[in-house]
């Protein structure tokens, strides 16, 4: 019995063992089938590839990502790379056919000897969202002939895309987009060879993404041959020329994005109902024309972006048929007057942007678009109340600014419980209760500027108010600082500009959002100072402090060290500059102009900040010398020391300011010769040295003063002598052209990093004073096409140079109050853009040239107090000038003077049409014309003599006998 039991137990255990062994074999085979053993050479290649990189956790933009290669060394798999994260092997052969190391924090370079290129069986390669440190894409990538998918996006590659990629004829998908480093430099180029060459063999492509790759060419029409193409993304590639209309008809095209190619032109085709387009993105291009009704045939379209284009005409009603749309942006086009009615059918819309497209009517028609999370209807002509939008309870962003909307029903906005961003500025909202919006628990940005507000003045509990990040209440007729600001400790931007806030800045304001405030804008109020005056203002992360156009008195308030923009101009500040200002090493703009500051300009202000671009100290009472040490490589673009009492010479170290565009030293006591080293400042556009004690002749044959970008120069009211600096006129190329299409205001863009999700950007507009049309004028904005020469009130002598007639962009010319003689050059008639001409108080003689009648923009003329004779031209602008333009010239006659001309003095009749079609060469031009004529005549005489001598009989036979 016992032996039988033992035998039974033994057999049972043996059966169990065999079953377990069989089960282990099955599991092993199963695992082997799922994870084949990779080849040793490929495992080694992957290990070597991994060793060339470090792990940089800031290199990935995907917060959910992890460094896949970090686990490769930790796995106990005997080096079987097929089990490694991101590695895919062929189940049958064990070869590595896929490598996905996207968002793996890789940092380092890829070069031509990389072991990656030995993985010749690779079909899919994804290295997106890493940092390859501006590596070039090696041409050895052509070894991977089996590649079907290549993704190198967002990985900081740079240089020319290798043409060898075109050898990868099996490619179905290429993504090289967004390869720009953190400094926004470098990046990939596809220029020589270009896009056409790259695509020549890639006939199987379905996906082509080249966003931010610099292509800088026309779009090749061969793209229309890629019949499998489903996604074409060429955003921000520098494309230009006409977009081939045939690409719209690709039979499988679902995504077309050519946005942000400003010089790319084109028109929309007639769309067919069979079109598979789902995304059509043309924003910020030069596409134009009308939107055809056929756009309603795009039945699968869910994203449409035509913002920032040049489309015109009416919005087609067929847009309302595109019921699959969830994203629409038509902002900033030139459409005819329209209403919102046609968008009311698009009930799947999530985002709708219709800024500045000439819309009228009520916003209530959108009340059924209940899925909207973003709605921008700003800069239109919408009217009525806002009440009906309270149905849009999913809204996160709402922009209704710059319309004609009336106040909503009280508390109606309380239903928009998810609202985070709200712009209602510059409407007709009156009596709007600010407390309504402060109760919205998710609201972070609120702009109610340009409206009539009811601001809560009672002391509100800290617990009942939402904590905002951005609050803009400009031009709201505020009389005091709103009390609720006491409890705001999360503010990033606070703007209360253009109000009527009187008195001192209260002490409690210095405790508001001390750790977060970056922008404080209080310009144009009636502020007189601080209730408590700290040595340094307390906001630790301040970027901009704007206190201009107030009534601030006392000493200069010093902002914290983080400040990049500091403007306290047009106040009543007194005292000397405190040394603490030298610690503001992050400044881009320092504007202390038009105060009553005294003492010397601290020497540190010439080199205390490597970032400083604008230094404006004009209109104070500073004395002493101009600071002397300007570091090489400084970023200064504007220096304005005008309107002080500065003495001495202009320091030669200013030649180190090679980025300088404006230099204004006017209205001081500077005693110096003309600084010819200014010729080193090739970017200089405005030079103003008016009203100083400059002396001596201008010019030195050994020194160039090219200044090719100079378009405003004012040397008036000094003691300059000698002849006019005519040889320099011919080098001032910016004065020779006038292109109104390129007109913009002169400025400097201040662009520094932000936080809290905001980017800090400021456009600082240059200013100046100059005499125009006989009046000293302050220009708060300077047009880059405004061109002026003012050399008046000096001691220049000699004749007016003929070269000045070549400066055809000139708008203001003032040579008055000098010792100039000779005649008025007729070639001034070439200055067709001239608006102001002052030649008074000289010794000019002869007649006023009839050619000046062609100056049809001339609004101001003064030739008084000279020795001019003969008839005054008549016609066009000359019929508008009065006696004082000509007085002090006893030899002049004709209207508007009382002395009439004798018949012998009468001006010849002018043919306006003929005059307009003709040019009036200056003396220097006639020299060249006559030289050519004479030299041609001499050559002709030599040839004639040769013919008549050597071929006398032939010449007589043909020309000498009758």
Query: Do 458 and 436 meet the contact criterion of CB atoms below 8 Å apart?
Result: no
**Could you tell me which CATH number the domain at 35-215 has?**
3.80.10.10
pTM: 0.82
Residue of 473, 413, 409 lying closest to 439 (CA atoms): 413
- The pLDDT score that the predictor gives to residue 2 is 52
Contacts of 943 (CB under 8 A, 6+ apart): none
Phi and psi angles of residue 370, each rounded to the nearest 5 degrees, phi first: -75, -5
930 DSSP assignment: H
Q: What is the mean pLDDT of each run of 10 residues along the chain (962 residues)?
A: 49 49 44 67 92 76 71 66 93 95 93 95 96 94 97 95 95 95 71 92 96 95 96 97 97 98 96 96 97 95 97 95 96 93 94 96 92 97 85 94 82 84 92 80 93 69 75 94 91 96 95 94 97 91 96 95 95 96 93 97 88 95 92 90 96 92 96 92 94 91 81 96 87 85 79 59 81 85 90 95 89 96 93 94 95 93 96 91 93 91 67 43 46 41 38 38 36
Q: Work out the angle at residue 108's Cα, subtended by the Cα atoms of residues 105 and 111, and round it to the nearest 5 degrees.
A: 130
Handedness of CA 10, 12, 18, 24 (dihedral sign): negative
Q: Cα–Cα distance between 150 and 128 in angstroms, integer?
A: 9
- Residue 321's H or E segment, with its range, is none
- The pLDDT score that the predictor gives to residue 959 is 37
Q: Cα–Cα distance between 330 and 304 in angstroms, integer?
A: 8
- The pLDDT score that the predictor gives to residue 169 is 95
- Residue 352's H or E segment, with its range, is strand 351-353
Domain range summary for the chain, segments of one domain joined by +:
35-215, 926-960
Query: Do 101 and 125 meet the contact criterion of CB atoms below 8 Å apart?
Result: no
- The pLDDT score that the predictor gives to residue 111 is 92
- The pLDDT score that the predictor gives to residue 72 is 84
- The pLDDT score that the predictor gives to residue 436 is 80
Tally the residues of the chain: 962
Q: DSSP labels for 483-509?
A: GGGGG--S-SEEE--SS--EEEEPGGG
Contacts of 767 (CB under 8 A, 6+ apart): 640, 778, 779, 780, 781, 782
Q: Cα–Cα distance between 912 and 877 in angstroms, integer?
A: 13
- The pLDDT score that the predictor gives to residue 63 is 60
519-557 burial: b if 16+ Cβ within 10 Å, else e = bbbbbbbebbbbeeeeeebebebbbbbbbbbbebeeebb
- The pLDDT score that the predictor gives to residue 961 is 36
């Amino acid at each position: 019995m016992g032996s039988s039991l033992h035998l039974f137990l033994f057999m049972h255990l043996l059966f169990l063992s065999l079953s377990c062994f069989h089960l282990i074999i099955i599991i092993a085979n199963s695992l082997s089938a799922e994870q084949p053993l990779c080849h040793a050479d490929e495992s080694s290649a992957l290990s070597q590839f991994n060793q060339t990189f470090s792990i940089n956790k800031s290199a990935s933009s995907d917060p959910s990502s992890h460094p896949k290669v970090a686990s490769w060394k930790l796995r106990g798999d005997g080096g079987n790379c097929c089990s490694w994260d991101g590695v895919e092997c062929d189940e049958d052969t064990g070869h590595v056919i896929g490598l996905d190391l996207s968002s793996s924090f890789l940092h380092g370079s890829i070069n031509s000897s990389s072991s990656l290129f030995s993985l010749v069986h690779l079909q899919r390669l994804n290295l997106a969202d890493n940092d390859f440190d501006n590596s070039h894409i090696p041409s050895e990538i052509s070894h991977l002939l089996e590649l079907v998918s290549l993704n190198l996006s967002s990985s900081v590659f740079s240089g020319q895309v290798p043409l060898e990629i075109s050898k990868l004829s099996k490619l179905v998908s290429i993504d090289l987009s967004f390869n720009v480093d953190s400094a926004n430099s470098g990046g990939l180029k596809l220029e020589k060879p270009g896009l056409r060459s790259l695509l020549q063999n890639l006939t199987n492509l379905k996906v082509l993404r080249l966003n931010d790759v610099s292509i800088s060419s026309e779009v090749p029409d061969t793209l229309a041959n890629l019949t499998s193409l489903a996604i074409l993304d060429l955003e921000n590639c520098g494309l230009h020329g006409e977009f081939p209309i045939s690409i719209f008809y690709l039979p499988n095209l679902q995504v077309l994005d050519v946005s942000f190619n400003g010089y790319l032109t084109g028109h929309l085709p007639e769309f067919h109902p069979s079109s598979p387009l789902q995304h059509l993105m043309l924003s910020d291009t030069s596409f134009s024309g009308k939107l055809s009704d056929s756009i309603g045939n795009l039945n699968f379209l869910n994203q449409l972006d035509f913002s920032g284009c040049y489309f015109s005409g009416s919005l087609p009603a067929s847009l309302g048929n595109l019921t699959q749309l969830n994203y629409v942006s038509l902002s900033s086009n030139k459409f005819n007057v329209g209403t919102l009615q046609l968008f009311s059918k698009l009930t799947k819309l999530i985002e709708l942007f219709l800024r500045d497209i000439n819309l009228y009517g009520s916003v209530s028609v959108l009340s059924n678009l209940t899925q909207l999370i973003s709605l921008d209807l700003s800069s239109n002509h919408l009217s009525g109340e806002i009440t009906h939008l309270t149905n849009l309870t999913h809204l996160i962003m709402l922009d209704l600014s710059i319309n004609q909307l009336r106040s909503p029903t009280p508390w109606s906005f309380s239903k928009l419980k998810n609202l985070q961003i709200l712009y209602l500025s510059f409407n007709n909202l009156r009596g709007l209760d600010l407390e309504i919006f402060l109760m919205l628990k998710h609201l972070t940005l609120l702009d109610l500027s340009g409206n009539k507000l009811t601001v809560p003045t009672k002391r509100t509990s800290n617990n009942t108010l939402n904590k905002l990040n951005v609050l803009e209440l400009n031009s709201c007729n505020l009389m005091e600082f709103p009390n609720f600001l006491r409890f705001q400790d999360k503010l990033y931007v606070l703007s209360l500009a253009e109000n009527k806030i009187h008195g001192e800045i209260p002490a409690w304001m210095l405790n508001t959002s001390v750790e977060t405030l970056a922008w404080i804008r209080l310009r144009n109020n009636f502020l007189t100072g601080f209730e408590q005056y700290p040595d340094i203002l307390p906001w630790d992360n301040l970027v901009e402090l704007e206190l201009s156009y107030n009534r601030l008195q006392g000493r200069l308030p010093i902002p914290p060290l983080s400040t990049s923009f500091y403007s306290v101009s047009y106040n009543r500040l007194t005292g000397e500059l405190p040394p603490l200002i030298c610690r503001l090493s992050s400044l881009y703009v320092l504007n202390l102009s038009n105060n009553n500051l005294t003492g010397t300009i601290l020497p540190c202000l010439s080199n205390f900040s490597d970032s400083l671009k604008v230094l404006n100290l004009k209109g104070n009472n500073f004395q002493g010398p101009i600071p002397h040490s300007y570091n090489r490589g400084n970023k200064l673009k504007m220096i304005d020391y005008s309107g002080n009492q500065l003495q001495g010479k202009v320091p030669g170290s200013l030649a180190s300011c090679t980025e300088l565009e404006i230099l204004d030293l006017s209205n001081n006591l500077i005693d110096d010769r003309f600084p010819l080293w200014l010729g080193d400042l090739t970017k200089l556009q405005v030079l103003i040295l008016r009203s100083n004690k400059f002396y001596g002749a201008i010019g030195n044959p050994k020194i160039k003063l090219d200044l090719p970008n100079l378009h405003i120069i004012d040397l008036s009211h000094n003691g300059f002598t000698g002849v006019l600096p005519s040889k320099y006129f011919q080098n001032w190329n910016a004065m020779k052209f006038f292109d109104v299409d390129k007109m913009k205001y002169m400025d400097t863009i201040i662009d520094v990093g932000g936080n809290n999700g905001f980017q800090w950007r400021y456009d600082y507009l240059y200013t100046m004073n100059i005499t125009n049309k006989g009046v000293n004028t302050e220009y708060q904005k300077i047009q880059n096409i405004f061109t002026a020469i003012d050399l008046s009130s000096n001691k220049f002598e000699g004749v007016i140079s003929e070269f000045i007639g070549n400066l055809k962009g000139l708008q203001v010319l003032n040579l008055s109050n000098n010792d100039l003689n000779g005649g008025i050059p007729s070639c001034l008639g070439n200055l067709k853009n001239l608006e102001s001409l002052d030649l008074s108080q000289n010794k000019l003689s002869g007649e006023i040239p009839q050619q000046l009648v062609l100056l049809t923009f001339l609004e101001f003329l003064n030739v008084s107090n000279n020795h001019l004779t003969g008839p005054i031209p008549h016609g066009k602008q000359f019929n508008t000038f009065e006696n004082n333009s000509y007085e002090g010239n006893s030899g002049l006659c004709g209207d508007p003077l009382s002395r009439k001309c004798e018949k012998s003095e009468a001006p010849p009749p002018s043919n306006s049409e003929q005059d307009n079609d003709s040019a009036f060469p200056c003396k220097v031009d006639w020299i060249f014309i006559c030289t050519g004529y004479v030299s041609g005549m001499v050559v002709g005489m030599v040839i004639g003599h040769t013919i008549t001598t050597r071929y006398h009989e032939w010449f007589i036979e043909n020309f000498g006998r009758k």
